[in-house]
Structure 1
Amino acid sequence: MKTNRAVRTPGGLSVRLDVRALTVVLLLLAAALAASVVLIGTGDFPIPAGDVLRTLAGDGDAGQEFIVNELRLPRVLVGLLVGASLGLGGALFQAVSRNPLGSPDILGLGQGATAGALVVIVLFSGSAELVTVGALVGGLATGIAIYLLAWKRGVHGYRLVLVGIGVSAIVTAVNGYLLTISDIVDAARAVVWMTGSLSGRDWDQVWPLLMLCAVLVPLVLANARELRMMEMGDEVSHALGVRVERVRALLMIAAVLLTATATAAAGPVSFVALTAPQLARRLTRSPGPNLLPSLCMGAALLVTADWVSQRVFGADQLPVGVVTGVLGGVYLLWLLVTERKAGRI
């Protein structure tokens, strides 16, 4: 069965269409939307899926409209946007580093955002809005530090990963110190945030994420061709006309912004950025960064994990970060075993 097809546009351009990848994207979108509808109907006041759809269309009663539109829909939208941002950010980091372990979880961006949030919580007892700002600043500062420390006539994959692991260890130690000097109330608040949760998310978290994705996702996808050529190596890419360092810096800035903003909105949700690109690649069986499939996979993974946490343990009893951490840890062990058997590590 042929998975690639050439399509000629009205302007005379020929575009290669990967039918399998497109099918995977559509199926993942359908799965994410279906899980979102089921998740909206899950809670202390269950609502059938049909009533959820009618309420979203504006035909529900007053009670259902309040529960769906004001309480549950923002949480689900934050989950979709955070999952999509982490999936796309993880795909970018793995493509730039050319390493399946090159994700924000391994590179320390989540720990950097956590450090920013802990500074606000522990040292200033800041509000939820200030914690979000602190996490965003911490994630961005960590990303810039990793890039600058990894720079040596360019940024290469393994150097980026190694520097990221080192920065992650340092920032993790700082986070531990901040927890030890905090009082019991701030420490409890910090630990809840560090777990990663969608509980209590509202429209204030939706709009910044939505605007960021509206800007960065088209920008990243517009550079997908250059990123795919860069996976062949810097010299080959440069010979093909790709401005390697400019494209790499642009995409890394986009990946850091996506990851830091997602972490600021929901806390450091573990392993979505690591697993989503790898699962997407295995489904599409396509080389290259698989940016759009990774985005859709991240969204589907996070809302499904949130549904599992609520269905099994009850609403808000188990943060979604615990579920993704367990599933991601199992996947990481499997990935390491597979890479070792293949002789790549």
Structure 2
Amino acid sequence: MMNESITLHTIMTGRMKRRRRFILVTSFLAIISLALCCTMLMLGNTIYPAQDVIRVLLGEDVKGVSFAVGTIRLPRMIAGVFAGFAFGVAGTVFQTMLRNPLANPNVIGITAGSSAAAVFCIIVLHASNMVVSIASVIGGLAAVVIIFLLSRSTSFSIGRLILVGIGIQAMLDAVISYLLLIGQHHDIPTAMRWLSGSLNGAKMETLYPLIIIVLICAPIIMIYGKQLEMLELGEQAATSLGIHTDKTRLILIISSVLMIALATAATGPIAFVAFLSGPIAIRLVGVGFSPLIPAGLIGIILVLGADLIGQFAFTARYPVGVITGILGAPYLIYLLIRMNRKGNL
């Protein structure tokens, strides 16, 4: 009895420490996210004091401030928040579910589907921004359907799905390159700006679909967080624990893909946010609790921080995707080297 009591006390103490760490890390990430949001609203060609920004947010008309904050900076900040959260959470879902840090939407072809559809509309159809956004969503969903149909067999295979996704990604990248080659000169800058991932030109009326989807799908993913962790144990282990693996996987995939597709439609394929958020969150919060919310907050921090760096850290202004690409490429190389040493490649 004494040994059992000591063991139980040790387990409870360890769980309390992990819970405390999770709460502290999540709170700290939330504070950083809020600080970046405030900075996005205050900082620009003209720096506005916090009290003027608050007055505008409360609906007051402040001369010289209302247009800059309400029309330009606020939509830009909201786009960064919801797109960053969507990429962070959805990327973590894929990496956890497929048990592979390389299995993120950028690598397995989902964002490439959205990008190819958007570039086709820009280069060939000369379509409006609304049509480009709708096509981007449809392209992302179509890419997912094709990937899963081609990777189907008698049983679900992580390796097969990733390989098919990489193949689809390569094919769609080739399609994008061809479209850029045949495009007219005045369309190419628009397509390239979209492909690089940017918060420039964000407008509230185009952000509502992204906001609604994130507010619907993110809670669904959180509800299935425990089942997601069990899927990481493998098909047989998850089934033995009473998880309906096919149903759970379908719900998680649909929710994640919808968020990725809408985020990509709103901001373009911001590089490496979905790839980096999950591993950073797991490193910070440790084991024992779902990293989904911290990963979403890290996605927000990466997008808003990279946008501020791209706007103000250099003499020229760079889209947010260029900065996140610079940050993410070294980590990808490090991850590939580490996986190779472990024999996972």
TM over 0.5, yes or no? yes
C-alpha distance in 2 between matches for 1:3 and 1:277: 23
Matched, 1:176 2:180: no
Deviations 1:202-247 (A, max 9, x none): 1023211111011101111111111111111111111111000111
CA distance in 2, matches of 1:41, 1:271: 27
Q: 1:281-326 CA distances to partner (integer Å, 9 max, x unpaired)?
A: 11011257511111111111111111111111368x2111100111
1:335 to 2:308 alignment: no
Q: Which moves more between the two structures, 44-53 or 244-253?
A: 44-53
Aligned letter for 1:101?
L
Local SS of the residue matching 1:18? helix
1:304 aligned onto 2:314: no
Cα deviation code 1:182-211 (max 9, x no counterpart) = 111122221111111000101023211111
Q: Which amino acid aligns with 1:77?
A: I
Q: Which residue of 2 aligns with 1:18?
A: 19
Output the amino acid matched with 1:216. C
Q: Is the 8 A contact 2:151 2:160 kept in 1?
A: yes
Alignment check: 8 A CA contact 2:19 2:289 kept: no
Letter in 1 for 2:28: L
Change (3 A) 1:232 1:288: farther
The farther-off stretch of 127-136 and 334-343 is: 334-343
Distance, in Å, in 1 between the alignment partners of 2:234 and 2:240 is: 10
> How do 1:235-274 residues align onto structure 2 when only pairs under 5 Å count?
235-274=236-275
In the alignment, the residues of structure 1 paired with residue 290 and residue 100 of structure 2 have an alpha-carbon distance, to the nearest angstrom, of 11
Helix, strand or coil: the match of 1:5?
Answer: helix
Rounded to whole Å, the distance in 2 between the matches of 1:96 and 1:153 is: 19
- Which consecutive residues of structure 2, in runs of 5 or more, have no partner in the other structure? 1-9
CA distance in 2, matches of 1:186, 1:114: 15
**Cα–Cα, structure 1 residues 325 and 332, in superposed 2: closer, same or farther, change >3 Å?**
same
Deviation at 1:44, TM superposition (A): 1.2
Show the 5 A alignment for 1:65-144.
65-144=66-145
Name the counterpart of 2:4: none
CA distance in 2, matches of 1:245, 1:131: 32
Cα distance in 1 for partners of 2:180, 2:155 equals: 36
TM-score, normalisation: structure 2: 0.91
Measured after TM superposition, the shift of residue 18 of structure 1 is 2.5
CA apart distance, 1:344: 3.6
Find the counterpart in structure 2 of residue 14 from structure 1: none
Residues 55, 65 of structure 1: 8 Å contact kept: yes
- Distance in 1 between residues matched to 2:156 and 2:52, nearest whole Å: 52
Q: Distance in 1 between matches of 2:305 and 2:326?
A: 14
CA distance in 2, matches of 1:103, 1:125: 30
Q: Which residue of 2 aligns with 1:5?
A: 16
Q: For 1:60 and 1:41, how far apart are their aligned partners in 2?
A: 16
Tell me the SS of whatever aligns to 1:47: coil
Contact 2:86 2:214 in 1 (8 A): yes
Describe the superposition over 1:77-110 as per-residue Cα deviations: whole angstroms up to 9, x where unpaired: 0100000000011001101110011101111111
Structure 1 SS opposite 2:16: strand
Secondary structure in structure 2 of the residue aligned to 1:270: coil
Find the aligned partners of 1:249 and 1:276 in 2 and give their Cα distance. 22
In the alignment, residue 240 of structure 1 is paired with which amino acid?
Answer: L
Percent pairwise identity: 34
Taking structure 1 as the reference length, the TM-score comes to: 0.91
For residue 300 of structure 1, give the secondary structure of its aligned residue in structure 2: helix
Mark the CA change 1:38 to 1:313 in structure 2 (over 3 Å): closer, same or farther: same
Q: What is the letter of the counterpart of residue 310 of structure 2? A: S
Taking structure 1 as reference, are residues 48 and 332 closer, same or farther at Cα in structure 2, changes over 3 Å only?
A: farther
Q: Distance in 1 between matches of 2:288 and 2:106?
A: 23
Instruction: Say which SS state the counterpart of residue 200 (structure 2) adopts.
Output: coil
Contact 1:78–1:205 (8 Å) recurs in 2: no
Distance 2:72 2:332 in 1: 34
Partner SS state of residue 62, structure 1 = coil
Written as runs of structure 1 = structure 2, the 5 A alignment for 1:132-171 is 132-171=133-172
Give the distance between the partners of 2:120 and 2:289, measured in 1 at CA: 39
3-state SS of paired residue (1:225): helix
The match for 1:10 is: none
Q: Per-residue deviation at 1:54?
A: 4.7
RMSD: 2.0
